[in-house]
Amino acid sequence: MKETATQTRQRANRILVKLKAAYPDAHCALDHRTPYELLAATILSAQCTDVRVNMVTPALFTKYPTARDLAAARPEDVEDLIRSTGFFRNKTKSLIGMATAVSEQHGGEVPRDMDQLRVLPGVGRKTANVVLGNAFGRNDGVVVDTHVTRLSGLLGLTRQTDAEKIERDLMALIPQDDWTLVSHLLIYHGRQVCIARRPRCDACVLAKLCPSVQRAVKPAPKKKR
């Protein structure tokens, strides 16, 4: 029998409760001290792991501690610092472009507004949601990355494949106060249990709530009498 919208919302909230219990320390994996640092780190995280970004950003932020410093940087110097994150030329262009816009249009301070963030070079809705939620404590949306996309589909919380449509579905199911947190919870779960190539369904706290679950442990064979 097909699940009703009300039933899906109720199940989504049970999923949320279980994930909160499983990952009480879930938080943004990108190391940062300021909104500027988080914005730059999030730009660098495209097509790159958070672990790698965290290896690169200390030197980047030591040399360019503010948006104004980065705006004045030579592209080749930035490229050398971020090369290992991949697509370093495009990312350098985005970083310097972002820093220039923040410096010239916002007095060197990262804006706290979705529309103002989204027009910055290298910044889309996902990046803006990361900054608003984690640097400013604003639950204006849900960050939809590859883990959130995959898990929200497996959990039957959306049938969409477009990031913004997935976000709208999750926003309709999850209380607004948890919009930022739910992304961290799904990311943690995707990295530790619901792993793409080898999901650990036998160890999953969501097994009874997941329509896609496939038990990884086969039942023990019956003993011959």
Q: Which residues are catalytic?
A: 126, 145
Tokens of 32: 């940062």
Q: Classify 217 as helix, strand or coil.
A: coil
In angstroms, the CA 54 to CA 31 distance is 6
Nearest to 185 by CA among 13, 1, 48, 10: 13
Q: Which residues does 71 contact at the CB level (< 8 Å), separation at least 6?
A: 96, 99, 100, 102, 103, 104
Nearest to 28 by CA among 59, 56, 62, 53: 53
Residue 44's Cα: distance from chain center in Å?
13
The string of DSSP letters for 127-165 reads HHHHHHHHHS---S-----HHHHHHHHHTTS----SHHH
Sign of the Cα pseudo-torsion (122, 169, 211, 175, in order): positive
Sign of the Cα pseudo-torsion (158, 162, 163, 168, in order): negative
